Amino acid sequence: MIEISELVVDRDGTRVLDDVTAVVRKGSVTGLLGPSGSGKTTLLRAIVGVQRITGGSVRVAGLPAGHPELRALIGYQTQAPSVYADLTVAENLRYFASIARCDRRRVAAVLEDVRMSELAGQLVSRLSGGQRARVSLATAMIARPPLLVLDEPTVGLDPLLRRDLWRTFHRLAAEGTTLLVSSHVMDEARRCTDLLLLREGGLLAACTPAELGDDLEDAFCRLVEGVPA
Amino acid sequence: MIATALRVANQLRRDPGTLALLLVVPAVLMTLFRYLFSEFLFTLVGPSMLGVFPFIVMFAVTAVTMLRERTAGTLERLLAMPMRKVDLLLGYALTFGVIATVQSGVLIAWSVFLGLDAPSGLLVLVAVLDGVLGMALGLFVSVFARTEFQVGQMMPAFVLPQLLLSGVFGPREEMADVLRWISDALPMTYAVDASSRLVRDEGLSGEVVRDLVVLGGATLLALVLGAATLRRQTR
């Protein structure tokens, strides 16, 4: 679904991504893990096509990232909830549904997916941070895009809700959606089918959770230090 | 485009303070002018103000609204979606254009109540064009502001020179050459000129037509510049 080849991104003179080569399988739930500042958001932005790249290439569904046709194929949730605070939850979703040219009846379904149906009539400015993040997530999912790029969608949510969201992600994957989900919390790796580990702008490893063993934190450290398992 | 227009209208509806600012402030300012000057002076200066107030108010409100769209990340989201830039700008232009029209209607009705002769319906057209121009420039300058505070500071930079050189404070014929050239290049000059001429009951003279064409052209230019600042990719 996504092919990244020798990707280099410089921002304001600093190298944020350095020679990243990776693949995201179609239908996978791929976790992009790494500490804060490792370049996760920049990599996701490059895939979505809103980040100008310095070198290398990013291809999504066979097209170069940023291609106009891809805009209808990718649902993107930014790290900060990008929804209108002065509209209600439902108004936000109806607006983005019409921009994405999809059926407005999707609004109810997608609100159920993120467990926000009861708050549909609330102004976003009255919601908590986690609730806003879920509205933002619902917005990304509204048009049932074949690729979902989610930047830390589960940050600050209670464990029950996190579990529900991951179940939704896997249900979508089973229906053929590809998901790329970033997180700085290592134990979220368990819930992914594939992993990309990022550190200081470089790809540390591309593997499955099983390959990392039981102690993910420890496995990450060993990878950084180059110690074999 | 319609979806965006409705969305912006919905946001404004939730913000009665801004709506009041848009509709009431120009009329209040006009009242100040009326009682600051003698009735005779008011009939001379008042009409020029019809070319000033809609511009200022629309400029401020639009710049802030667009800035919010940028800082909240919703602009980036929209540009990553299948949305045409022109639809976004026209959506904004449609809603704010309607508001500029209502605002001008209120202002002119109130001015007539205060004793201004407004013989021509064309005055509404001038005031609307003026408001839409303010809106288009507001969209454009929102790029250069990072915070709403900075938008406030841009008001004097973008608006005051236009106001001072528009001919409201002294006849353009008496300005030093350089100042008059600058005045010629500033769009508000033409709004002030058109409304003064219309109140003097000139009707649709050649000069008024020229003023209207310049205002329309400046608005289009500002919208095109605004569209150019909407980048789908950033560094």
Work out the minimum CA distance from A125 to partner chain B, whole angstroms. Answer: 11
Q: What percent of chain B has pLDDT over 70?
A: 97
Report CB contact under 8 Å: B7, A12.
Answer: no
Give the three-state DSSP class for B204.
coil
Identify the CA nearest to B229 among candidates B66, B119, B115.
Answer: B66
* Res. B144: pLDDT tops 90: no
A48-84 per-position pLDDT tens digit? 999 989 999 999 999 999 889 999 899 999 888 899 9
Give the three-state DSSP class for A121.
coil
Mean pLDDT of A79-105: 91
Domain boundaries, chain B: 2-227
Nearest residue in chain B measured CA to CA from A143: B81
Size of interface A-B (CB pairs under 8 A): 73
Work out the minimum CA distance from A167 to partner chain B, whole angstroms. Answer: 25
* Residue B94 pLDDT: 86
Strand partners for A194: A30
Count the neighbouring beta carbons within 10 Å of the beta carbon of residue B70.
16
| Strand order, beta sheet including A178-183 | A74-77, A147-151, A178-183, A29-33, A194-199, A202-207
Q: Collect all residues of chain B within an 8 Å Cβ-Cβ radius of residue A80.
A: 72-73
For the record, the structure tokens of A56 come out as: 């290398």
Nearest residue in chain A measured CA to CA from B235: A52
Residues in chain B, total: 235
Mean pLDDT, rounded, of chain B? 84
Work out the minimum CA distance from A190 to partner chain B, whole angstroms. Answer: 29
* Residue B42 pLDDT: 81
Report CB contact under 8 Å: B72, A99.
Answer: no
Nearest residue in chain A measured CA to CA from B16: A86
* Residue A187 pLDDT: 78
Question: Residue A212 — very low, low, confident or very high, per pLDDT cuts 50/70/90?
Answer: confident
* Residue B111 pLDDT: 85
A84 touches chain B (CB under 8 A): yes
ipTM: 0.85
A99-124 per-position pLDDT tens digit? 988 888 899 999 998 889 999 999 99
Which residue among A95, A101, A123 places its CB closest to the CB of B7?
A: A95
Helix then strand count (H, E) for chain A reads 7, 10
Structure-model confidence comparison of residues B208 and A58, the more confident one:
A58
Q: Collect all residues of chain B within an 8 Å Cβ-Cβ radius of residue A51.
A: 233-234
Identify the CA nearest to B188 among candidates B90, B68, B33, B55.
Answer: B55
Mean pLDDT of B49-62: 82
* Residue B233 pLDDT: 76
**Contact status, residue B25 vs residue B58, Cβ threshold 8 Å:** no
Report CB contact under 8 Å: A99, B3.
Answer: yes
* Res. B234: pLDDT tops 80: no
Report CB contact under 8 Å: A82, B15.
Answer: no
Q: Which span out of A85-94, A216-225, B29-38 was modeled with the highest average pLDDT?
A: A85-94
Q: Give chain A's domains with CATH numbers.
A: 1-73+149-229 (3.40.50.300), 83-145 (no CATH)
Provide Rg for chain B, Cα atoms: 18
B30-51 per-position pLDDT tens digit? 888 888 888 877 877 777 777 7
Distance CA A149, CA A71 (A): 12
Q: Which span out of A18-27, A154-163, B70-79, B109-118 was modeled with the highest average pLDDT?
A: A18-27
For the record, the structure tokens of B19 come out as: 């709506």
* Residue A54 pLDDT: 92
